[in-house]
Amino acid sequence: MTRPAVVVVGAGPAGLFAAERLAAAGAAVTVYDRMPSPARKLLLAGRGGLNLTHSEPRRAFLDRYPSLPPAVAEALDGFPPDALRAWAEGLGEPTFVGTSGRVFPRAFKASPLVRAWLARLTGLSVGLVMRHRLVGIAPGPLLRFDGPEGRVEVRCDAALLALGGASWPRMGSDGGWTTLLKGEGVAVAPLRPANMGVEIAWTADFAGRFAGQPLKAVTIALGDRIVRGEAMITAEGLEGGAIYTLSAAIREALATAGGARLVVDLKPDLPLDAVAARLAGARPKDSLSAVLKKRLGLAPQAVALLRETEGGSLPREPLALAGRIKAARLVVPGVRPLDRAISTAGGVRFDALGKGFELAAMPGVFVAGEMLDWEAPTGGYLLQATFATAAAASACIAARLGLPMAGDPVPAW
């Protein structure tokens, strides 16, 4: 019996995971990618520790996603964090929960997991065709690629597109697929930066002295949204976990109001009157910098940030100074560009999908991962939903082809 042929375009997490599941179900799967080797973005992201998912309870986990589409929520319920952890363990890479609740492979980095994963795909006879860029799709489906030896046409019974967003162009995710799909009548929301840094007009002296220094254990507020965490000073502004969590709201404020104002609390664990009381106990002869360091433990970059927000001059009166410390105000005129962002917002609109994750305008062609119009903060949420949408899309393809794909035993969440 001839096995149905499935072409997966994109050798990132979504593409490789769907390829694995479909090959295990009995499909003849070939993965195409324009880069020289697979999983390059995943390997780069995992150099400092591969954050696979998060250990939060379901409701808190789902609330992390800005405007979570129902289809992605359903996919997450079908393939929750414990399912991803079980999959990693099946590859010989057990996971652990860090102090922040984030989940990592015990090896911490991505390379051992990727090696084991590629070996599994080889065992399932999944073909990998590298250095082939998708340039066309026709009914059938018929896919056209430009490769080292010229144009290649590939017919298949079903195709999955998992080409990522546009935030890592040097790793293969350049967003070029948007023009291709729009030309075929597929509705695509504009790609925008997500989990990106913000731009702030620092003085040259401040940027030169403190770029690369962290602001630790602060809260950052935008309107009524308050996030606790860490931010990193850059030459252009700020980045880091606390900024990334607010990125969707910052982007919206810039679009609607033309700017955004952040309020930084440098001592969030102390109320205003307690900060003022500590400042009031300082010796009159001490310099302001010494007072802020000795009485409040503020790092030099935090003190400099205070001066930056006040044009260089700070009040000595305790209550007034405490007010500045509890609410240092920063004007954000813009964000870092898409090619400097960690991830992407926008993509194939969900109203462009028919049944499951199949494109309504292109029967037999499915989409998964970051190509779809959703976004997630850092902390494991992006990878978890990428795997989950790949699991859901591969199940839809299996159903279309009549393949008996075994369902996951969904852990309690």
Cα–Cα distance, 53 to 60 (Å, whole number): 13
Determine, yes or no, domain membership for 70.
yes
Helix (H, G, I), strand (E, B) or coil at 368: coil
Determine, yes or no, domain membership for 255.
yes
Last residue within a domain, chosen from 335, 350, 373: 335
Do 319 and 348 fall into the same domain?
Answer: no
Task: Over range 117-121, report the average pLDDT.
Answer: 98
Do 354 and 305 fall into the same domain?
Answer: no
Confidence of residue 241 (pLDDT cuts 50, 70, 90): very high
Helix (H, G, I), strand (E, B) or coil at 328: strand
Determine, yes or no, domain membership for 90.
yes
CATH number at residue 363: 3.50.50.60
Structure tokens at 100: 């922040």
Task: Over range 2-7, report the average pLDDT.
Answer: 96
pTM: 0.92
Do 72 and 132 fall into the same domain?
Answer: yes
Do 328 and 346 fall into the same domain?
Answer: no
Last residue within a domain, chosen from 306, 335, 364: 335
Amino acid 408: pLDDT: 59
CATH number at residue 304: 2.40.30.10
Determine, yes or no, domain membership for 412.
no
Question: Which residues span the domain enclosing 367?
Answer: 5-194+338-401
Task: Over range 228-232, report the average pLDDT.
Answer: 96
Determine, yes or no, domain membership for 226.
yes
Query: Which DSSP letter does residue 171 get?
Result: G
Last residue within a domain, chosen from 301, 335, 369: 335
∠ at Cα 232 (227, 234), nearest 5°?
A: 130
Do 350 and 298 fall into the same domain?
Answer: no
Residue scoring higher pLDDT (259 or 250): 250
Task: Over range 207-231, report the average pLDDT.
Answer: 97
Total structural domains within the chain = 2
Do 392 and 256 fall into the same domain?
Answer: no
Rounded alpha-carbon distances, angstroms, from residue 166 to 198, 248, 316: 18, 16, 48
Determine, yes or no, domain membership for 408.
no
pLDDT tens digits, 325-365: 999 999 999 999 999 999 999 999 999 999 889 999 999 99
Q: What percentage of the chain carries pLDDT values higher than 90?
A: 90
Cα–Cα distance, 54 to 113 (Å, whole number): 18
Amino acid 192: pLDDT: 96
Do 136 and 275 fall into the same domain?
Answer: no
Cα–Cα distance, 410 to 388 (Å, whole number): 12
∠ at Cα 215 (211, 218), nearest 5°?
A: 155
Determine, yes or no, domain membership for 409.
no
Do 98 and 216 fall into the same domain?
Answer: no
**Is residue 270 pLDDT above 80, yes or no?**
yes
* CB-based burial, 243-269: b 16+ in 10 Å, e otherwise: bbbbbbbbbebbeeeeebebbbbbbee
CA-based Rg of the chain, rounded to a whole angstrom? 24
**Is residue 25 pLDDT above 90, yes or no?**
yes
Determine, yes or no, domain membership for 158.
yes
Do 19 and 168 fall into the same domain?
Answer: yes
Do 36 and 90 fall into the same domain?
Answer: yes
Cα–Cα distance, 223 to 221 (Å, whole number): 6
Confidence of residue 312 (pLDDT cuts 50, 70, 90): confident
Helix (H, G, I), strand (E, B) or coil at 198: strand
pLDDT tens digits, 281-292: 888 888 999 999
Do 292 and 158 fall into the same domain?
Answer: no
Cβ(188)–Cβ(346) below 8 Å: yes
Do 249 and 394 fall into the same domain?
Answer: no
